[in-house]
Amino acid sequence: MDKYRYLIVGGGMSGDAAVRGIRELDPDGTVGLVSAERVPPYNRPPLSKGLWKGAPLERVWRRTEELGVSLHLGRTVQVLDLRHKQVTDHTGQVYSFDRLLLATGGTPRQLPQDGVLYFRTLDDYQQLRQLAEEGRRFLVIGGGFIGSEITAALVHVGRSVTLTFLEEGVGGRLFPRGLSLFLNDYYRERGVEVLPEQSVVGVERAGGQFRVHLQSGRRVEADGVVAGLGIRPNTELASSAGLPVEDGIVVDEFLRAGHPDVFAAGDGTRFFNPVLGARLRVEHEDNANAQGRTAGRNMAGAQEAYTHLPFFYSDLFDLGYEAVGELDPRLEVVEDWQEPYRQGVVYYLRGGRVRGVLLWNVWGQVGAARQLLAEPGPHDAGGLRGRLPR
């Protein structure tokens, strides 16, 4: 049995950030990190962005191994035994801990059909890169973060792409309708065939070729099919050990997961945010880094509440944005454009209070947006236009 003062299950960005948090306070305590992936922790955002534009692969590594941590790679933890404070991986190897972090992230949602590539890991990136060497035509399913970024990446390397999704427009679950419909045209201008309001009903595969059937009756022929349909949080370990789970591992303000020595952080964690006054589960880099770090520090004896309101960002060809809070187009939306759909600020309100801010090709305003979200209001369209520089 391997014994650790600190044991981390999950080798993603939050797992790595936790090791860094631990080391800020405890340079010597033994740290073990068990990850189902066969490679050490790396940054995921470049997999759908920089790597396609020539950024070197070496830059993705987070160099966790330099922090005096034992990495157990290619190992999936299957059992969490809270009474004996130990976990067991799929090979039967047992690891004991004083403090445990569940940083298990999420697993891509899948279609019932076979043969589709779901884009989450470095392995997935390498597979798609290989497919893109061999193939010419691609179908991307899903108009959210992953689908819109992978489409741009494939176009960037000269491939022909059809993009299909359920909503009316690209990013339709985040952006106001006008912006989302503009993005359909923007993608089309870059050569993408955009098929909105479509669901996939069948995938046929013969040799290396795909024929995908959409519910409209339309058939799409492709050399590769990639889907970005969101993730489902990996909560099985927590729930089987009797820890609270509610579409995510539920933590308190110190990121404790229902047990004094068990913590959770990252995409799979549901936490309370005092600014929004709501429980959130956030699937973004800033949260993985900040929450992982706080969890690590608290594992090492700090008692710090996690009050950070994470921001997120994405790139869509040469447009880009940063955002904080709830981006839900069903809220009251106030749009303040410098140039329509090219540069501006979008405010999302509920009950006279700002719940979310989208900074569209507007940079350096995340702090000011956070402050606005903390204000009790009431706010209205007249008062908000021009409030943040656009």
Ligand X SMILES: Cc1cc2nc3c(=O)[nH]c(=O)nc-3n(C[C@H](O)[C@H](O)[C@H](O)COP(=O)(O)OP(=O)(O)OC[C@H]3O[C@@H](n4cnc5c(N)ncnc54)[C@H](O)[C@@H]3O)c2cc1C
Closest to ligand X by CB, 162 or 234: 234
Please list, in sequence order, all residues whose beta carbon lies within 8 angstroms of the beta carbon of residue 30, skipping any fewer than 6 positions away.
Answer: 3, 4, 5, 6, 70
Q: How many CB atoms lie within 10 A of CB 178?
A: 15
What x/- string results for residues 292 through 321 when contact with ligand X is judged by CB under 6 A?
Answer: --------------------xxx-------
Report the distance separating Cα 254 and Cα 248, nearest Å: 16
Q: Is residue 64 at the binding interface for ligand X, with CB under 6 A as the rule?
A: no
**CA distance readout (Å), 214 to 133, 161, 175, 220, 349:** 26, 16, 24, 8, 36
| Coil, strand or helix at 322 | strand
Answer for the pair 193, 162: CB distance below 8 angstroms, yes or no.
yes
Among 15, 135, 169, 172, binds ligand X (CB under 6 A): 15
Q: Parallel, antiparallel, or unpaired for β 249-250 and 269-273?
A: parallel
Site for ligand X in 248-277 (CB under 6 A): 266-267
Residue of 10, 224, 325, 356 that binds ligand X (CB under 6 A): 10
Q: Hunting for tokens 């959409």 — which residue is that? A: 214
Tell me the number of residues near ligand X by CB under 6 A. Answer: 36
Token pair of 257, please? 């997961």
CB nearer ligand X, residue 8 or residue 384: 8
CA dist list (Å): 217 to 170, 201, 304: 21, 9, 55
Judged by CB, which is closer to ligand X: 233, or 329?
233
Residue 196 neighbours by CB distance under 10 Å: 17
Q: Of 14 and 180, which CB lies nearer to ligand X in the complex structure? A: 14
Task: Annotate each residue in 175-214 with x if it binds ligand X (CB under 6 A) or - if it does not, as one string.
Answer: ----------------------------------------
CB of 65 to ligand X, least distance (A): 15
Sign (positive/negative) of CA torsion 135, 40, 80, 304? negative
CB 111 to ligand X: min, Å: 17
Residue 117 CB, nearest distance to ligand X (Å)? 12
Region 115-144 residues binding ligand X, contact defined as CB under 6 A: 119-120
Nearer to ligand X, 13 or 388 (CB): 13
**Cβ 293 to ligand X shortest distance, Å:** 12
Q: Find the shortest distance in angstroms from Cβ 119 to ligand X.
A: 6
- 251, two tokens: 């933590």
What is the closest distance, in whole angstroms, from the C-beta atom of residue 129 to ligand X in the complex?
Answer: 13
Choose among 148, 117, 112: nearest CA to 227.
117
CB of 98 to ligand X, least distance (A): 19
To the nearest 10 degrees (0 to 180), the angle between helices 285-299 and 13-25 is 40
User: What is the closest distance, in whole angstroms, from the C-beta atom of residue 104 to ligand X in the complex?
Assistant: 4
Instruction: Round to whole Å and give the CA distance between 349 and 327.
Output: 10
By the 8 A CB rule, do 377 and 353 touch? Answer: yes
**Of 37-45, 191-199, 203-211, 295-303: span binding ligand X (CB under 6 A):** 37-45
List contacts with ligand X (CB under 6 A).
Answer: 9-15, 34-37, 44-45, 47-48, 76-77, 103-106, 119-120, 146, 234, 237, 266-267, 283-286, 288, 312-314
